A and B are shown apart, each in its own frame.
Chain A
């Protein structure tokens, strides 16, 4: 049974696409066949983050118009052949497809892949409705900011109203030092409002920007990063493994050593 998971947030810029790219790659590294679907028609980014932009020939719109077959539109990742991308059209808007068409696409993908990750656009309009149309589960991404949490809360309500009950929370871009100084909402604060189960906490990391620009997801990087490790852990939790949450509160020196040790144990 394949799992169809929508990655969504309400607010823009909190890391939906980054999470989709990294989780897709991490799940593929765990041996799963993964299709990532860009539902952000008109403002697509997922191909950039995966470094696949120049391989896109057909998009979802051409598949729906019958101009190509579904497997022709799928872009196979050059580094990890278990991962494919279904790109969104860049020259159209969100209204170019309907929820029913989107559902039809995703359901036919589900026949041949273990995981379908749908990258939702920001907002709660048509694009969001498209993205959640076929989903059975959702990953709600938020940053520890009051505006992002408020929007996430709204989105959780809409997901529930659309019958998606399996919802997990990713808190992204946490700055442990700021939390300790009481300048940032803690994970507990976020959870208190959203009241959904936490699947991962990703620390703020400048390397995310580098990885985005290079089109190389963090989980692939040779130099280990905490954020990459956090995404790997989320992927393993999705697989049903029990993985302890990273201790982000430890001071920097101890932290580096600690997670080097972790890496030695758990990843390689």
Chain B
């Protein structure tokens, strides 16, 4: 997969409507003024038939915690931004326990739901109840939003795992077949890339996909799609995938310079 010719036909696909991408937002950590902010996706994430359930939220949280544990200082304060998500005291406790396991301390809860506020106050956290519309990180319809800071995870992405982030994603570990990485920025996999990788998901065709061992199921950059060749190469090198007007090309990292 190291020469341009070996990449099979790339076909343009219809770019997703900008508003749809925000429906896919995931549990996210952000550092802000020396503390961590834990953002839960809003209640209307996922489709109406199958909204993102508590179990999925919890699994995403555990995965992010496991993958980032190494980078946090012990006893860092965490502020939870629950937005309009309903949390009962048991779920709040589960979040707090998971954070404690990673040596983080839940201190404050921001929510726009009364029930969540009551549950949080009863559990002894300081609570800030905000009106539904004006909460932080409200997705806006305007174009040209700044990307989030890169998401850096040390983990093995296993089948069924999907990482979405409105910025660059860096994975230290393998991405196994059946997993997906969707980034609005670049994707860097320090390991084997064998799942699906989509860079520039909001349409930026200058985004790149970098991997130590490039054997993806499929790669997508902006509105281009390419699949891996039928016969995998015998030897692997660190490679970089980029989009050209003719489609996606892959080149050895050592030969890479922007065309």
Report Cα–Cα, A162/B98, bound state, in Å. 11
Chain A positions 186-223 with a Cβ under 8 Å from a chain B Cβ: 193, 195
Whether B216 is near chain A, meaning CB under 8 Å from some CB there, is no
B62, B174, B178: residue with the most chain A Cβ atoms closer than 10 Å:
B178
Whether B66 is near chain A, meaning CB under 8 Å from some CB there, is yes
Residues of A near B159 (CB, < 8 A) are 150-151, 153-154, 157
Whether A156 is near chain B, meaning CB under 8 Å from some CB there, is yes
Given contacts A161-B59, A195-B156, contact A153 B66 (CB under 8 A): no
Chain B positions 148-185 with a Cβ under 8 Å from a chain A Cβ: 156, 158-161, 174, 176-178
Residues of B near A150 (CB, < 8 A) are 159, 177-178
Whether A95 is near chain B, meaning CB under 8 Å from some CB there, is no
Whether B63 is near chain A, meaning CB under 8 Å from some CB there, is yes
Please, what's the 1-or-0 string for A153-179, where 1 marks a CB less than 8 Å from any CB in chain B? 110111011110000000000000000
Q: Which of B63, B161, B176 contacts A193 (CB 8 A)?
A: B176
A150, A153, A195: residue with the most chain B Cβ atoms closer than 10 Å:
A153
Report Cα–Cα, A161/B176, bound state, in Å. 16
| Chain B minimum-CB-distance residue to A196 | B156
Report Cα–Cα, A133/B178, bound state, in Å. 25
Residues of A near B59 (CB, < 8 A) are 158, 161
A154–B62 CB distance below 8 A = no
Given contacts A150-B177, A193-B177, contact A156 B158 (CB under 8 A): yes
Chain A positions 51-91 with a Cβ under 8 Å from a chain B Cβ: none
Residues of A near B178 (CB, < 8 A) are 150, 153-154
Given contacts A150-B178, A193-B176, contact A163 B62 (CB under 8 A): yes
Residues of A near B194 (CB, < 8 A) are 193
Report Cα–Cα, A221/B159, bound state, in Å. 38
Number of A-B contacts (CB under 8 A): 36
Residues of B near A161 (CB, < 8 A) are 58-59, 62-63
Report Cα–Cα, A163/B62, bound state, in Å. 8
Report Cα–Cα, A161/B58, bound state, in Å. 8
B58, B66, B160, B194: residue with the most chain A Cβ atoms closer than 10 Å:
B160
A153–B158 CB distance below 8 A = yes
A195–B174 CB distance below 8 A = yes
Report Cα–Cα, A158/B160, bound state, in Å. 9
A157–B158 CB distance below 8 A = yes
Residues of B near A153 (CB, < 8 A) are 158-160, 176-178
B66, B156, B158, B178: residue with the most chain A Cβ atoms closer than 10 Å:
B158
Nearest CB on A from B59, distance (A): 4
Report Cα–Cα, A160/B61, bound state, in Å. 12
Residues of B near A158 (CB, < 8 A) are 59, 160
Given contacts A150-B178, A195-B156, contact A157 B62 (CB under 8 A): no
Report Cα–Cα, A151/B160, bound state, in Å. 9
Nearest CB on A from B30, distance (A): 21
Nearest CB on B from A232, distance (A): 30
Report Cα–Cα, A150/B62, bound state, in Å. 21
Report Cα–Cα, A161/B66, bound state, in Å. 9
Nearest CB on B from A236, distance (A): 29
Nearest CB on B from A125, distance (A): 11
Chain A positions 14-42 with a Cβ under 8 Å from a chain B Cβ: none
22 A-B pairs (CB sep. < 8 Å): A150-B177, A150-B178, A153-B158, A153-B159, A153-B160, A153-B176, A153-B177, A154-B160, A156-B158, A157-B160, A157-B161, A158-B59, A158-B160, A160-B62, A160-B66, A160-B158, A161-B59, A161-B62, A161-B63, A163-B62, A193-B176, A195-B174
Q: A interface vs B, CB < 8 Å?
A: 150-151, 153-154, 156-158, 160-163, 193, 195
Give the 4 A-B CB pairs with smallest separation, nearest first: A157-B158, A154-B159, A153-B159, A154-B160
